Amino acid sequence: MENINIGVIGAGFMGKAHVVGYSNTPKLFWPAPAMPVLKTVCDIVPEIAEDAKVRFGFEKSATDWRDVIADPEINAVSICTPNDSHAEIAIAALKAGKHVLCEKPLSSSLEDTMAMADAAREAAAKGVIHMTAYQYRRIPAIALAKRFIDEGKLGDILNVRCTYLQSWSADPSSPLSWRFQKDIAGAGTLGDIATHVTDIATYLAGDIDEVTGLLRTYIKERPVQEGGVDLLGTVKLDDNAKKAPVDVDDEVSFLVKFASGAIGSIEATRNAWGRNNHITIELHGTKGTVAFNYERLNELQVCFADDPDHFRGFKTVYTGPAHEHGDVTWNIPGMNIGYGELKTIEIFDFVKAITTGEQPSTNFEVALRVEQVTAAVARSAESGQWTKVAA
């Protein structure tokens, strides 16, 4: 079996998630398409890099991503750094012929994302794989919803309602990490989490043509944090800490028109007390409805119009062995999967793409389309007008 030597760049929250995926790919998917080998972990903070090497079992650590890209032994890289660094790292990696799995959003500006898509197109012509980490469309329950749509069981799609609600930044004493700084993050909830549900919405219902949206920043300044790692609200700073302005949104709401004629809405916030990773999708068609909530990610609610009147209503399908990847995760219904298995399914798709040469479903072109929607929402929030998504 072929080995694929991996470099992981950025060893924070997502660096760990990618390592879980690489390590578990051959454990869940056997025979694996190839064996991922944890070669080098890179973090700009030397202690984090060294700690990650020991903890995750990498052969080497580095503090400069250029050393990872220059290493002829490395075949593929995961880019898990804050958003503003993705473009430079990804473009260099693609030019060097490394397969790239880049965290979302692809970058902190539409210009950078377009440059990344250009570099990906050129590299793809030489067999290089490019992929963005929109993992949520890979949830087996979402794959089942897609299957119902493709089989025509829901009829014509009329409406797609999506939310992504979290609570971790609702407390004003949560520090001003990189996620609240426009020059690093690019946007707030709009780029960070609305992008995930935009990806799922377009995966299920096709391209979005036009949007109208609102952005709000509720907490206008936050205490300044030491260090570059975003601890996602797990740290609180006291009232004496120096404060600095927040220049990204806390919340976004937008209406969408799909190219198919369907309509819908997308809302995202990180300030919703009581909502933790509350990703909901409800999709209504002429022949039925599907509804999903990530906090119960092994379930899909379905209702079919052609059930007899006295019997019609929602039923819950529990995903398991009979569904996407259920044969390789846990083979007893109800054992369920979580975030670790989901990131493993994503990494399996990346490794498989490298061995087959077929670009994954969340390639850079698809991510560019999502980020064109993001940019249109930002323009609409400024102008107050319905805004076309640039082709």
Ligand X SMILES: NC(=O)c1ccc[n+]([C@@H]2O[C@H](COP(=O)([O-])OP(=O)(O)OC[C@H]3O[C@@H](n4cnc5c(N)ncnc54)[C@H](O)[C@@H]3O)[C@@H](O)[C@H]2O)c1
Give the CB-nearest residue to ligand X. 12
> Which range in 36-44, 122-130, 294-302, 310-318 contacts ligand X by CB under 6 A?
36-44
Closest approach of Cβ 278 to ligand X, in Å? 14
- Token pair recorded at residue 361: 């479903």
Is the CB of 45 or the CB of 263 nearer to ligand X?
A: 45
Applying CB under 6 A, does 11 fall inside the site for ligand X? yes
Is the CB of 231 or the CB of 303 nearer to ligand X?
A: 231
- Residue of 10, 36, 140, 264 that binds ligand X (CB under 6 A): 10
Applying CB under 6 A, does 9 fall inside the site for ligand X? yes
Applying CB under 6 A, does 20 fall inside the site for ligand X? no
- Residue of 35, 37, 44, 328 that binds ligand X (CB under 6 A): 44
Whole-number Å distance between alpha carbons of 214 and 228:
29
Residue 369: which H helix or E strand, with range? helix 364-383
| Count of positions (residues) in the chain | 391
Is the CB of 10 or the CB of 213 nearer to ligand X?
A: 10
Q: Where are the alpha helices (DSSP H) in 167-295?
A: 182-185, 189-192, 194-205
DSSP conformational letter for 347: H
- Residue of 120, 133, 144, 353 that binds ligand X (CB under 6 A): 133
Applying CB under 6 A, does 85 fall inside the site for ligand X? yes
- Residue of 155, 206, 228, 326 that binds ligand X (CB under 6 A): 228
Helix, strand or coil, per DSSP, at residue 187? coil
Q: Which pairing describes strands 157-165 and 278-285: parallel, antiparallel, or unpaired? A: antiparallel
Whole-number Å distance between alpha carbons of 318 and 192:
29
Residue 205, classified by CB atoms within 10 Å of its CB into exposed (0-12), middle (13-18) or buried (19+), is buried
Closest approach of Cβ 193 to ligand X, in Å? 8
- Token pair recorded at residue 192: 């960070």
* Interface residues toward ligand X, by CB under 6 A: 9-14, 42-45, 48, 65, 80-83, 85, 103-104, 133, 135, 192, 228-230
